[in-house]
Amino acid sequence: MQLFEDILTWGCIYAYALASILLLTGFIFNKDRMLKISGYIIVPAFAAHTVIFIMRWTRTGYFPANSEFENAITSGWFAIGITVYLFFKNRALSGVALFAVPATLLFLGYGVMKAPAPLPLAASLKSSWLVIHVLFAQLAFGAYVIASGMGLLYLLKERKHGTEAEEGFYGKFPRPVVIEENIFKFVVFGFITEAIMIVAGAIWAKDLWGSYWGWDPVEVWSLVSWLLYGLAIHLKVTLGWKGRRFAWLALFLLSTVIIAYWGVDLLVENTRHIFGVTSMPELMR
């Protein structure tokens, strides 16, 4: 089973790498054919990604979120899943793949080089509430990745405004105002699901550690990220931030989520959000 998972994982990585090259080539050189070919690669790669996600959950018995690799599997699955959904719903929005696919490639690459082996979950953490907490965390992350992708698409579309490229290659993508509307929708969706994630985590923490809030580094950064996205919504709705400013904001705010999900565990050793305890050789068989 481990060999099959390794083959699928590296197959996904190479497929996402190839799709990233095609997407970059397509956007840089205005080649629509490259974008179409990338779609034919991303969809089967996502199917393989889904198999990896299910296999890891089946092998370990818990929702995949117990290591950098499992976080990469899960967060990447949600990000690519939304991207594939947009492929079929509205082909004009497929440009978000330019951001979502390379991002997922890097997350998977980091995870597989960091800690790919399954780890047992501490007995105290074996709770269905873990699924709820992590599920909403990954929904928020997926929405924020798509919002960032929309932000990049907006910037590229606006930059080509009034040029021959806008009439040709970039003409297939929605008008900037439509892209901006979708950025806002995904930011709001991510903001709400991240709020549910934080509250669900607090409820779970009360039962697990005896308090709703412990100022754990991951908790703090998650709250900072949520507040900054809330500020972005406020700037958009109340102060009228729009266009390039809001697109840049959506693009760069994703870094706060990446810090919360990966950066804190990398730099801080005293966080409660490192759940693996020891290696699990029996699961490798």
Q: Which residue type sits at 163?
A: T
Of the pLDDT bands very low, low, confident and very high (cuts 50, 70, 90), residue 186 is: very high
Domain count, the chain: 1
Residue 282 has pLDDT above 50, yes or no: no
**Which among 181, 142, 174 is positioned nearest to 156, based on CA atoms?**
174
Average predicted confidence (pLDDT) for the chain? 87
Q: What is the pTM of this model?
A: 0.89
Question: pLDDT tens, 98-131?
Answer: 999 999 999 999 889 886 778 777 665 677 787 8
Q: Are 72 and 18 in contact (CB under 8 A)?
A: no
Long-range contacts of 57-63 (CB under 8 A, 24+ apart): 59/1, 59/5, 59/118, 59/283, 60/118, 60/119, 60/120, 60/121, 60/280, 60/283, 61/121, 62/121, 62/126, 62/130, 63/130, 63/131, 63/134, 63/135
Lowest mean pLDDT among 113-122, 135-144, 212-221: 113-122
Q: How far apart (Å, rounded) are the C-alpha atoms in residues 157 and 96?
A: 12
Question: pLDDT tens, 16-68?
Answer: 999 999 999 999 898 889 999 999 999 999 999 999 999 999 988 888 887 88
- Give pLDDT, residue 259: 85
What number is the average pLDDT over the span 77-86? 95
N-term to C-term CA, the chain: 7
Question: The tokens of 236 are what?
Answer: 């958009």
Residues near 81 by Cβ (< 8 Å), separated by ≥ 6?
A: 46, 142
- Give pLDDT, residue 272: 63
Q: By residue range, what is the domain housing residue 258?
A: 2-284
Residue 31 backbone zone (phi > 0: left; psi -120 to 50: alpha; other: beta): beta
- Give pLDDT, residue 152: 95
Long-range contacts of 194-201 (CB under 8 A, 24+ apart): 194/136, 194/137, 194/140, 194/222, 194/225, 194/226, 194/229, 195/226, 196/136, 197/133, 197/134, 197/136, 197/137, 197/139, 197/140, 197/222, 198/222, 198/223, 198/226, 200/129, 200/132, 200/133, 200/136, 201/133
Q: Are 150 and 186 in contact (CB under 8 A)?
A: yes
